[in-house]
Chains A and B, each alone.
Chain A
Amino acid sequence: MKNKKEKINKKNGKNTYYSVSFLIIVIALYVVLFFLKSDKIKTSLDASWNIFVGIIPVLILVVFIMGVSNYFLKPKKVSKYLGKESGVKGWFLSALFGILSHGPIYVWYPLLKDLKEHGMRSGLVAVFLYNRAIKIPLLPVMIFYFGIFFAVILCIYMIVASIVQGKIIEIIEAKYVGER
């Protein structure tokens, strides 16, 4: 458990390092361009500022929904309902848990591996992973840029695609392993 936590902390630290490095590189690019074409830098900063100001209210909403979903959904709860005999309910729940799950993907890999070893169907793992693409806390941002109709339609198609993908993966796995 401690080892797992250490691994996650190490990975988080690495991610923060890459994120900060990325920001530093972009700032360095601004500095270089300032000396080469200084007249356009202010326009760039204005464009960035306008984007930032536009999304502030949405970002506040994102943090709020993230907090609420952290409170209600815990990985232990997920593992309880995705067993081998879960049937149709399993497909539905893996889609739902995929949508509601939060945090970086690598946090969920060990749990999914554990569940798979305890009989969780590969198709359900695929459904869970695909539906992680739909993030309720981030929906306000998607709606802000693309509109509510787009967000709803895309989510519906993604859920359908996840189940089709899950079924195909089960067929592929069955073909190679000889079990279904």
Chain B
Amino acid sequence: MAKKEINNTDKSSLTYSFYKAIKSFVTTLPILFGVILLIGLFKTYVPSKAISSVFTGELFRDTFLGSAVGSISAGNPITSYIIGGELLKEGISLFAVTAFITAWVTVGIIQLPAEASILGKRFALARNILSFIFSIIVAIATVLTLQVLT
């Protein structure tokens, strides 16, 4: 009983919170290093022209494409920011990149079976389809607002 109390006290301490944060961060490191190394390869081996040919600069097409790629990707949002930031440097439109990072976290094709089995099929399907549509709307609204304000 006393041991249980000590454990509970420990788990609510600031040190334990930071231990948990560092532990959780360390588990994302292999993916983070992998993605950074992959971007390095991508930047060197894939010419900018090849990327531009996929993203044509057409607002709706690019935004849709960004959302589609973001939807089938999964992982820590930090990875999507890094990829998105680098895509932006390559000249991809902010519409597509915003749709990509928004869909990355809101649409979970990979987690869909888990979400459907725990929270219900209809709920999971409706939520993911709506999230996909909203990732496009949010991206367009964000970039247009940004353009008006800055």
Contact = CB atoms under 8 A, between A and B. Distances in A.
- Is the pairing of A and B real? yes
B149 A149 contact: yes
Range for the number of chain B residues in contact with chain A: 35 or more
Range for the number of chain A residues in contact with chain B: 35 or more
Contact of A153 (B34, B126, B145): B145
Contacts of B149: 149, 153
A22 B142 contact: no
Contact of B142 (A29, A132, A157): A157
A100 interface: no
A150 B98 CA distance: 9
B25 interface: yes
B84 interface: yes
B106 interface: yes
A93 interface: no
A151 B43 CA distance: 25
Interface of A: 12, 15-16, 19-20, 22-23, 25-27, 29-30, 33, 37, 40, 43-49, 51-52, 55, 59, 62-64, 66-68, 70-71, 102-103, 105-106, 109-110, 112-113, 116, 122, 125-126, 129-130, 132-133, 135, 138, 141-142, 144-146, 149-150, 153-154, 157-158, 161, 164-165, 168-169, 172-173, 176
- Please provide the 3 A-B residue pairs with the shortest distance between their CB atoms, ordered closest to farther: A48-B40, A145-B85, A133-B105
Given A19-B30, A44-B45, 11 more contacts: A52-B36, A55-B82, A66-B25, A67-B18, A70-B17, A109-B118, A125-B123, A146-B85, A146-B88, A165-B134, A176-B122
